Structure 1
Amino acid sequence: MPDVVVTLGAGSIGVPTGALKLGHFAAERWVSNESKDPVGLAELFVGGEGLRRGAEPVLATLLHEAAHGVAHVSGIKDTIRQGRYHNTRFKLLGEELGLTITQAPTIGWSSTELAPGTAIGYGEAIEALATAIVAFRNSEDAVPVGPTGGGKGGTAAGGRSGGRSRRPKNGLVLVCKCSPGRRIRASAGVFERGPIVCGVCRGDFSDVSAA
């Protein structure tokens, strides 16, 4: 793993409305004043809104970005399309680090969860994260809520679905996994930029426009 500078900030700025950046890995982004190394240190960014999900999902995000770090150090090309699409090499790296990686139609093998048993092996780290996460950031388009509340539109995200079927001119119809499902509308461009996650059921909104 490379050394990194950990940054925490807004995951809802610079992304489509309703979407959220949970994290990213960026190589050679920081340079230490105490080092003559011109290459610099990598950046590990964590979106403040994503902290609301709790310790285990945040650990999954950290391991996702760690897989990118391993790929960088090992010289493995784990993404294409300017880093937006995660290929099968990334999937294998993520699985080696204890993740379950599933495919999202527009961003590849990117959807991330802890694999069965991983939480046990990372028990101390999860406890430390649970203790450290004492606040989370509300996104700009969310109704301000407390730790147990339910926000509106884009309290978390992580890359997801959508077919290539014919799109209605007034936007896609998206439904989450709540029962009954909550419905929203979004343009095809917004939907394809990244996942839109329900703040209640934590499930991704899926496109049912052609259903």
Structure 2
Amino acid sequence: MPPIRSSPVAAPLVAALETCWSAIQVQHGDVPDVVVSVGAGSTSHGRLKLGHFAAGRWQRGEDKLSELFIGGEGLRRGVIELLATLLHEAAHGVAMTRELQDTSRQGRYHNARFRAIGEELGLGLDHSATDGWSTTTLAEGTAGRYTAAAAKLKRALVVHRLAEVGAGGRANNNNGLAALCGCPRKIRLSPGAYELGPIVCGVCRHPFIAVRADEADRA
């Protein structure tokens, strides 16, 4: 009897992300081409990276291509939040194309130029003292521009990356899981409560996502 093979998972996901990015490019001509990568979004500084645009990270012939990184832990947020992340990173790409400085503090603080580009791309942006105009949601009517691409992305969102809770040889905290939002603020909760569904931060509007115990302790 031949072995049972599961359906591909990563390839449809990356293809759907590429389709969404192409749809954004159709709407906004200054959005550059990218190489899409998906990986761990938990950082050594205890922050959760939902996405990242990095200029000139890849080489194709004589040309350099930028990278679009999507944090796998954030895939559990769903297609609307993921589309907001894609548009956020696309705004950084537009700033690169236009040779505008849209951030400071090693890319953490998002300035008024970023806000203007983000609103141009259909984002709603909220301001914080630490990150500037970084917190993004979809403005009214934006999702309707990407109906077909978003439907393909929704079908591909069958997995999300599990946080490596308790990794590094450390015992799990007796209070349960540690989870960070985008601020980042930290909460602890039981695994059962965490798996019931997303818990959204009222400040940054991003869900709390479980991280490794050592990362949470540094937050």
Shared fold (TM-score, shorter chain, > 0.5): yes
**TM-score of the pair, normalised by structure 2:** 0.66
Q: 1:93 to 1:205 in 2, by over 3 A?
A: closer
1:97 equivalent in structure 2: 121
Post-superposition Cα deviations, 1:146-187, rounded to whole Å, max 9, x if no partner, equal xxxxx94336x4346xxxxxxxxxxxxx68xxxxxxx55xxx
Superposed counterparts of 1:143-154, under 5 Å: 152-154=177-179
Post-superposition Cα deviations, 1:84-116, rounded to whole Å, max 9, x if no partner, equal 110011011011111101112211100011111
Superposed counterparts of 1:118-129, under 5 Å: 118-129=142-153
Q: Distance in 1 between matches of 2:203 and 2:91?
A: 26
What secondary structure does 2:135 align onto? strand
Equivalent pairs: percent with the same residue? Answer: 52
Superposed counterparts of 1:122-161, under 5 Å: 122-141=146-165, 152-154=177-179, 157-159=181-183
Checking the alignment, whether the CA contact within 8 Å between 1:110 and 1:159 is kept in structure 2 is no
Once the two structures are overlaid, the 10-residue window that deviates more, 115-124 or 91-100, is 115-124
Letter in 2 for 1:36: E
Are 1:15 and 2:45 matched, yes or no?
yes
1:36 equivalent in structure 2: 62
Count of residue correspondences: 158
Q: Distance in 2 between matches of 1:15 and 1:45?
A: 18
Post-superposition Cα deviations, 1:44-88, rounded to whole Å, max 9, x if no partner, equal 000000000000100000000000000000011100112111001
Checking the alignment, whether the CA contact within 8 Å between 2:110 and 2:131 is kept in structure 1 is yes
Query: How large is the Cα RMSD of the aligned pairs?
Result: 2.4
Q: Distance in 2 between matches of 1:21 and 1:204?
A: 18
Letter in 1 for 2:50: L
Checking the alignment, whether the CA contact within 8 Å between 1:25 and 1:68 is kept in structure 2 is yes
Post-superposition Cα deviations, 1:189-210, rounded to whole Å, max 9, x if no partner, equal xxxxxxxxxx64312579xxxx
Checking the alignment, whether the CA contact within 8 Å between 1:139 and 1:154 is kept in structure 2 is no
Among 45, 55, 60, the residue aligned to 1:27: 55
TM superposition shift of 1:126: 1.5
Q: 1:7 to 1:139 in 2, by over 3 A?
A: same
Q: Distance in 2 between matches of 1:43 and 1:98?
A: 22
Give the gaps of 5 or more residues in structure 1. Answer: 143-150, 161-173, 176-182, 185-198, 207-211
2:83 equivalent in structure 1: 59
What secondary structure does 1:76 align onto? coil
Give the gaps of 5 or more residues in structure 2. Answer: 1-30, 167-175, 189-196, 205-219
**TM-score of the pair, normalised by structure 1:** 0.68
What secondary structure does 2:80 align onto? helix
Are 1:110 and 2:108 matched, yes or no?
no
Letter in 2 for 1:53: R
Question: Which of the pair is proportionally richer in helix?
Answer: 2
Letter in 2 for 1:48: G
